[in-house]
Amino acid sequence: MNLERNVGGLDKKIRIGAGAVLILIGLFKSLWLAIIGVIVLATGLLGFCGLYKLLGLNTASPAEIAVSSDDPVQRVKDSVDEIKREATEFADVNKDGKVDAEDAKQAYNEAAAKVKEGADTLADKGKEVVDKIKNENNKHS
């Protein structure tokens, strides 16, 4: 069976994340969830989905297909290396761009105030519309 890559980058990341989550949930809840998780994780790591092949679907770009290895084992290694690299980059960004609790609290309070202001404005407009309708009904009565 030809395992040509047919799972694109974003699709691949979603499958890897969802597969890992399903495996963890399956370990505590249901063996079937864990099995489904393994399948989803494998399709993400391999960059190949048998169901996609059956249906003639392909979310991988030509560039992704061109650079992917023909060897499925190498593709899994490449996927793991990519996950490590992205995790390291994410950790570096979080280390450099730390948000302290006070900044987060202030941002939350500002957002909450804007939402409240918007809700109050909306409530006032709604009240005006209701009053206008009542006045129109009173005129016609």
Place of tokens 């992205």: 86
Both 88 and 117 in one domain: the answer is no
Residue 79, C-beta contacts closer than 8 angstroms, at least 6 positions apart: 12, 16, 44, 45, 46, 47
Q: Region 125-129: what's the mean pLDDT?
A: 78
Both 50 and 105 in one domain: the answer is no
Q: With bands split at pLDDT 50, 70 and 90, how would you rate the model's confidence at 32?
A: very high
Both 86 and 113 in one domain: the answer is no
Which spans in the chain are helix H? 9-28, 31-46, 50-55, 62-67, 72-96, 101-140
Both 135 and 78 in one domain: the answer is no
Both 16 and 66 in one domain: the answer is yes
Whether the pLDDT of residue 99 is over 80: the answer is no
Both 61 and 106 in one domain: the answer is no
Both 105 and 87 in one domain: the answer is no
Both 22 and 91 in one domain: the answer is yes
Q: Residue 37, Cβ neighbours under 10 Å: how many?
A: 20
| Residue 126, domain extent | 100-140
| Residue 75 CA: distances (Å) to CA of 35, 44, 64, 67, 106 | 21, 10, 11, 10, 45
Q: With bands split at pLDDT 50, 70 and 90, how would you rate the model's confidence at 57?
A: very high
How many domains, the chain? 2
pTM of the model: 0.61
| Residue 5 CA: distances (Å) to CA of 38, 44, 132, 133, 135 | 18, 10, 62, 61, 67
Both 70 and 40 in one domain: the answer is yes
Q: How many angstroms separate the CA atoms of 133 and 130, rounded?
A: 5
Radius of gyration of the CA atoms of the chain, in A: 26
Both 92 and 64 in one domain: the answer is yes
Both 15 and 81 in one domain: the answer is yes
Both 35 and 5 in one domain: the answer is yes
CA atoms within 13 A on the CB side of 38: 7
